[in-house]
Structure 1
């Protein structure tokens, strides 16, 4: 069975074969149209060509895409560019550790596909709306999208004889690798109150199939590589964007007052509660002491080049730290599935967390951003109300059909959630304006 390829000791025996035979199975069996490709190359191609991935170009990463003003230009990241950059980081780190690079890249490309308009702000708004039908979580939505919503493969229902979507019909290993939180709502293995989960109740059958043989609550090695690559990509690039936009002043990072504010953001959000601020201070000092750190950034071409070098240095620093520590623990063989755990040194995690906290404080916590977020929450709440009142009117044809065949009110509400989650930021505002008669 997949997921039984190693032990949990500190120095497990790594299996000679990187994947169990069933790791490349698909929920619905299908022939390969192009012999010679691996199953994971097919997975990568399916995600790369999906409409859901393309829609990420119009979804918020840190700042709403398409907002052109004097303090933010069009080169700022969207959730699509973040996913592409995460995939590049993950592919190389995974390959260095012996993973199948196409499998890790697939997981990295897919990991944010279920995120709704307006980023985590939209995620919170949809979770409130969906409270009585199982809540909303971007990672659970990603699994739902990959296995149900994105139209690619269909099977015939034994009950009705009608075609039923199986989404992209990815391999078992690809779905497992894209799962950051392998448990349903309220079942976090160590933090029952955590809002993070990876599967809705009505998607449990395909989740259980993808996780067959996997240790409960444990992510596979490829998912751990994806997760660290995600942290690395967004911490480094959000810092880069904030600095380039003029929101982060490198000189301010030496101020004791500013540092205290950064630690207050980091502790409990990006590092565990109770973390000693002195450790975070040491982490920032280590980074600022590097010859490539972008001191005195002024936006000139030379400074932009130095900043790009700094981002490359940071990504290399974080990846090499994880690669070196993991190799020290497990040796030189291929590390895959449940044969190993990714080891990230505490110092590297603190350095990464400090960058996240800097971007959070100076970019996401700007007054104008909170004003925008408040408006976004109103838009999604009103949009959800209008769709609920008028459904199936207002729904795209795909979701209208699902709404009309839904078994009960709970299932119908989930269809409305799926519709809203599929929208880009601009599409959400446009649909909201149309349903509200253009009053906003």
Structure 2
């Protein structure tokens, strides 16, 4: 079956056992297995499997935006987000928004917990290096790596002693965790897009999980996950930047500073057609709110005010999406392919401005730019050294895959899988042990 073919193979079944509008096909697993505990739903089992996975725990060692040990932090004990805490916060946002719209909350939470599992050490910085290294073996994309991890790398279930099926989640859970439901070069509107959700050698399970899905369309739960991700990281990255002393709220009143933020937002984050006037209106709407932080010095009062501002922003973004979606679809339960999440353009613009603020004042600061360059060297040299010296340096799981590979592409992919699984500290340590001085 073509991975993008819209096929109505599974007729909808009557609601049962609390699943509501989810069908028997939604609950299927790639390798059938019996329920071990009566009374627990399939989606509750999915959530537990991701929550207890080693891959989720490793996200604690992967930087989100502010490096806890990084240089230049004005406040040293701010406990900034890691990929793990971001994923947990995204899951909380998604669970409540999804439940308000009729989704199974455990299903949406599972997708949110899983959405960053494939991100390599040093985040998008490491992703760029691995994409270059893997260009001849299918590329690298954090979302495609997440699917590979869920369906192959994280050991939980095996189809045979030689074939892992990863966590063996339900079809609905895998689909909900798929942000970009197409292979490399398969974007329905932009074949040159760097974003994709599946590697070529993972297409069999992708075809299975997408059975019956419209061409290139994300399911409703995946849309809720995606917006929850945007909400969580746009709000919390600014919060972390303020706490670390990288963002001064007063600079957002300066014309030149605002122009820089708007240019970044228009280039990277804002909806199509956004210009400085519309982005300025979005920022001014936020600045006019009584809860918007106008200063931050680390005092208990300022900490409380900042936390309240974060809560207010999350509520603002989620309630806007919930209200606009309900206005279009009414009060019915909205699941799978029965609806599209509606997010008002005003809130998308506000979210884009927040992302740009974090980008300009946290990610683009000089100390961070130097650190990113060093990180790229670590990942690039580590990949090349492993290629030259493997199976030395590979964990037993990836060593076996490397030795069983039938060609250079398979061996290179095993090295990519190994590096992507590492935390920031583990990648740095392995590089120090293996790479030439």
Give me the TM-score of the superposition, normalised by structure 1.
0.94
Alignment RMSD: 1.5
Matched residue, 2:368: 369
Distance across 1 between alignment mates of 2:279 and 2:65: 23
How far apart are residue 68 of structure 1 and its match?
7.0
Given candidates 75, 93, 96, the residue that maps to 2:79 is: 75
What 5-or-longer segments of structure 2 have no aligned partner?
1-7, 13-18
Distance across 2 between alignment mates of 1:97 and 1:2: 26
**8 A contact 1:386–1:435 mirrored in 2:** yes
Matched residue, 1:312: 311
**8 A contact 1:4–1:213 mirrored in 2:** no
**8 A contact 2:43–2:173 mirrored in 1:** yes
**8 A contact 2:119–2:145 mirrored in 1:** yes
Matched residue, 2:119: 115
1:97 paired with 2:96, answer no
Cα pair distance change 1:252/1:19, threshold 3 Å: same
Cα pair distance change 1:273/1:334, threshold 3 Å: closer
How far apart are residue 311 of structure 1 and its match?
0.3
How far apart are residue 124 of structure 1 and its match?
0.3
How far apart are residue 115 of structure 1 and its match?
0.3
How far apart are residue 4 of structure 1 and its match?
7.7
Matched residue, 2:252: 253
Matched residue, 1:279: 278
**8 A contact 1:4–1:214 mirrored in 2:** no
Matched residue, 1:343: 342
Tell me the SS of whatever aligns to 2:268: coil
Distance across 1 between alignment mates of 2:73 and 2:368: 14
Given candidates 25, 35, 40, the residue that maps to 1:37 is: 40
Tell me the SS of whatever aligns to 2:159: strand
1:140-151 superposed matches below 5 A:
140-151=144-155
Distance across 2 between alignment mates of 1:141 and 1:118: 15
1:413-435 deviations in Å (ceiling 9; x for gaps): 10000000000000000000110
**8 A contact 1:184–1:200 mirrored in 2:** yes
Cα pair distance change 1:4/1:319, threshold 3 Å: farther
Distance across 2 between alignment mates of 1:69 and 1:305: 24
Matched residue, 1:199: 198
Distance across 2 between alignment mates of 1:137 and 1:2: 30
Matched residue, 1:62: 65
Distance across 2 between alignment mates of 1:255 and 1:4: 58
Matched residue, 1:164: 163
How far apart are residue 189 of structure 1 and its match?
1.0
Given candidates 105, 110, 133, the residue that maps to 1:106 is: 110
Distance across 1 between alignment mates of 2:191 and 2:27: 32
Matched residue, 1:434: 433
Tell me the SS of whatever aligns to 2:306: helix
Matched residue, 1:222: 221
How far apart are residue 67 of structure 1 and its match?
3.5
Distance across 2 between alignment mates of 1:53 and 1:175: 16
Matched residue, 1:381: 380
**8 A contact 1:57–1:78 mirrored in 2:** yes
Give me the TM-score of the superposition, normalised by structure 2.
0.94
Runs (4+) of structure 1 moved beyond 6 Å? 2-5
Distance across 2 between alignment mates of 1:369 and 1:171: 40
1:88 paired with 2:92, answer yes
Matched residue, 1:407: 406
1:185-228 deviations in Å (ceiling 9; x for gaps): 01111122110000000000000100000001000000000000
How far apart are residue 163 of structure 1 and its match?
3.0
Distance across 2 between alignment mates of 1:243 and 1:190: 38
Distance across 1 between alignment mates of 2:409 and 2:297: 54
Matched residue, 2:354: 355
Tell me the SS of whatever aligns to 2:181: coil
1:69-107 deviations in Å (ceiling 9; x for gaps): 643545100000000000000000000000000000000
Distance across 1 between alignment mates of 2:315 and 2:28: 34
Matched residue, 1:11: none
How far apart are residue 66 of structure 1 and its match?
4.0
Distance across 2 between alignment mates of 1:256 and 1:2: 57
1:48-80 deviations in Å (ceiling 9; x for gaps): 000000000001211334447643545100000
Q: How many aligned positions are there?
A: 423
Matched residue, 2:136: 132
Distance across 1 between alignment mates of 2:11 and 2:351: 32
Distance across 2 between alignment mates of 1:244 and 1:339: 41
